[in-house]
Chains A and B, each alone.
Chain A
Amino acid sequence: MKLLTKTSLNQFWLSIIIIVITGIMLLFLLQREVSVEIEEQLEMQAAAIVHEIEAGRPVNSPMIQIISDDSPMLDQPRIFRDTLIFDQLQQKTEGYYYLTDNYIIKGQEYRIRVMTSHIGIDGYSKAIIYIFIIMALLLIICGSVMNYFVNRKIWQPFLTNLQRLKSYSVSSTEQLTLDRSNIHEFEEMNTVLIELAEKARAEYIALKEFTANASHEIQTPLSIIQSGLESISQFELQPEIAGYVVNAKEATSRLSKVNKSLLLLAKLENNDFPDKKKVDLSALLNEQIDRAEDLFSFKGLQLERQITYKEVYSSLFLLEVLISNLLSNIVAHAGQGTQVKISLTDAAMTFENGGEALTFPEGQLFARFGKGTDSNKGNGLGLSIVKQICLANGWEVKYHYADKMHVFKVFF
């Protein structure tokens, strides 16, 4: 839930609760006030009747009942309450208040009951309650709406800055810039974020330089070893010495590849690929397959292609590495004479090859140096590079084994 929705909702519910409670209180207080007033009024009326009786004038009204006999009712206490009385004229019951009390007038006991209808009071309380409800609704709606807009304005710079942070990469050459805000907390956060980003960028640049330098420092001696070994190879060598040279050459070549692969992985993690552009993936895939076709046919692999036109926005270099790694994987691991299917659709690129099931857990497939049982087949970095390249492009690579076919699928 968005912060804005959350605060608005909180405000909304709180307003409703407060208004309902105060509304109920208002209603009760009003009723109490009214009944106290009516009781006073009825008492005055009763006092007037007593006065009339004292003066010997007869009192007669449908709203008044006077009992003066020695009936047992005289023992009852004073009563003030409301009741319903059927109005024959209107054919409906109506609410009345009545007061019954005992009086002694000129030595004789009287029980007098006076009544008055609710109606006048009802009208007032209805009007008051309507106005109250309208006021409450207006307050809730306007309050919530205003709260929403005010908050939105206050949070706007925060949201803009959040978007910028999302799209910011420490590998960018520009500094992070954030919108200023007049809210103290936001301003403080901006300062902290800018400092943090600047620090991360500095670290990143240092790391990048270190990686480049390390690569240089390792690759140059490797070049010297390799060219030295090639020069030795030009001489007529005793078979024993030749064997040592060949081993040394293979080891050098392997070392150089591992080094290159590790550097590539480091760069992938830093997402350091500036050559992104639109690439015709179908053409690139066909080209790479053509180049490796002799490797397939030598192993007797039956190649089947289903390639439809597909354009992607990515680094050409990375795509080449991705495809050639997946192709090398097939060449290295497909069983002799099995079926190989390579297909490209708008949604995915699929590499399938026949072969026995994996002898290690699937989870290790994309791990660095994950297998390593057969050291003659690659350095164990190829598939983890595949995975990282997919990650860098926001794609997903999945593996499954079905019908004696290993299937690698890259989803765009």
Chain B
Amino acid sequence: MKLLFVEDEPVLLQEMQLYFRSLNYTCEHAANFADAAEKVNSYVYDIVVLDITLPDGNGIDLIRDIRTQHLETGILILSARDSLQDKLNGLNMGADDYLTKPFYVEELNARINALYRRKVLKGSSKVVFDDFTIDPESKQLFFDQKALPLTRKEFELLVYFVVNKNRVLSKSSIAEHLWGDHVDQFDNFDTLYAHIKNLRKKLINVSGKDYVKSVYGMGYKFALE
């Protein structure tokens, strides 16, 4: 997967690149509008992560350039401004998704993956780990070609875990993914715990492996070799 990060905040840029490189994605970056414009007009990217407040221009103006260059590129707007007008403008101009800062890099990864499957792989892809196969489109999990029934929340949880495998995910990050960011997550940690327990049990029952590790105080980690 080839990614372009357009972001003027160096620390954030570094954090994102560090994580996405560890997942073996090809990452490039642009720290300003001019640089970004040059890059999107010269190369084709699978996904562009676009901060719209740039020192020398509005990132929204880049969307048309990206679209004329390559129609299938997924565009995800990243903005510190939780401004509805910006969001509407961005989505009207042809952006595919919108994420507000501060965000969890795992959430960004989950969205990038969903976007990649939808736009680049045209929804035909399956996510495979060990003997498990996840079909994101039909929202089903298979173990050795046999369907393993999961509840909707368990399925969402599993996809989030697998996409962000081997990373410690904080409870807030998972709760925000499952219930949205309007909800106060502190009330929901118990429910989250129950979902994780059930998912864990279901996976152990068929495979005998315990994938979900609890990391003391921090959260959970989906361990895959």
Which A positions have Cβ atoms within 8 angstroms of B? 212, 215-216, 219-220, 222-228, 230-231, 233-234, 237, 239, 242-243, 245-246, 249-250, 252-253, 256-257, 260, 263-264, 267, 272-275, 291-292, 294-295, 298-299, 315, 317, 320-321, 324-325, 327-328, 331-332, 376-379, 382
Q: Are the C-beta atoms of A223 and B80 separated by less than 8 Å?
A: yes
Q: Which residue of A lies closest to B10 (CB)?
A: A224
- 8 closest Cβ contacts across the A-B interface? A223-B102, A219-B80, A298-B191, A324-B182, A216-B80, A227-B15, A223-B101, A222-B102
The answer to whether B43 has its CB under 8 Å from any CB of chain A is no
Known contacts: A227-B12, A242-B218. The answer to whether A220 contacts B88 by CB under 8 A is: no
Within 8 Å CB of A252, what residues of B?
A: 102
16 contacts between A and B (CB under 8 A): A215-B82, A220-B9, A220-B80, A222-B101, A223-B9, A223-B12, A227-B16, A227-B104, A237-B218, A242-B218, A249-B170, A250-B172, A294-B151, A298-B191, A320-B182, A377-B184
Q: Are the C-beta atoms of B170 and A292 separated by less than 8 Å?
A: no
Within 8 Å CB of A253, what residues of B?
A: 172, 185
Known contacts: A252-B102, A298-B194. The answer to whether A331 contacts B187 by CB under 8 A is: yes
Q: Are the C-beta atoms of B105 and A378 separated by less than 8 Å?
A: no
Which B positions have Cβ atoms within 8 angstroms of A? 9, 11-12, 15-16, 18, 53, 80-85, 88, 100-106, 151, 153, 167-168, 170, 172-173, 179-188, 190-191, 194-195, 215-219
Min distance, Cβ A276 to any Cβ of chain B, angstroms = 11
A272 to B83, CA, bound (A): 9
Q: Are the C-beta atoms of A274 and B88 separated by less than 8 Å?
A: yes
Q: Are the C-beta atoms of A324 and B82 separated by less than 8 Å?
A: no
A295 to B175, CA, bound (A): 11
Q: Are the C-beta atoms of B82 and A257 separated by less than 8 Å?
A: no
Interface residues of chain A: helix, strand, loop or mixed (majority): helix
One of B102, B170, B191, B216 near A256 (C-beta < 8 A): B102
Q: Which residue of B lies closest to A242 (CB)?
A: B217
Known contacts: A219-B80, A220-B12, A274-B85. The answer to whether A233 contacts B218 by CB under 8 A is: yes
Within 8 Å CB of A228, what residues of B?
A: 11, 15
Q: Are the C-beta atoms of A332 and B12 separated by less than 8 Å?
A: no
Q: Are the C-beta atoms of A243 and B88 separated by less than 8 Å?
A: no
Within 8 Å CB of B104, what residues of A?
A: 226-227, 230
Which among A275, A295, A379 has the greatest number of chain B C-beta atoms within 10 A?
Answer: A295
A321 to B182, CA, bound (A): 6
A390 to B35, CA, bound (A): 45
Q: Are the C-beta atoms of A263 and B82 separated by less than 8 Å?
A: yes
Q: Are the C-beta atoms of A328 and B53 separated by less than 8 Å?
A: no
Within 8 Å CB of B53, what residues of A?
A: 216
A328 to B186, CA, bound (A): 11
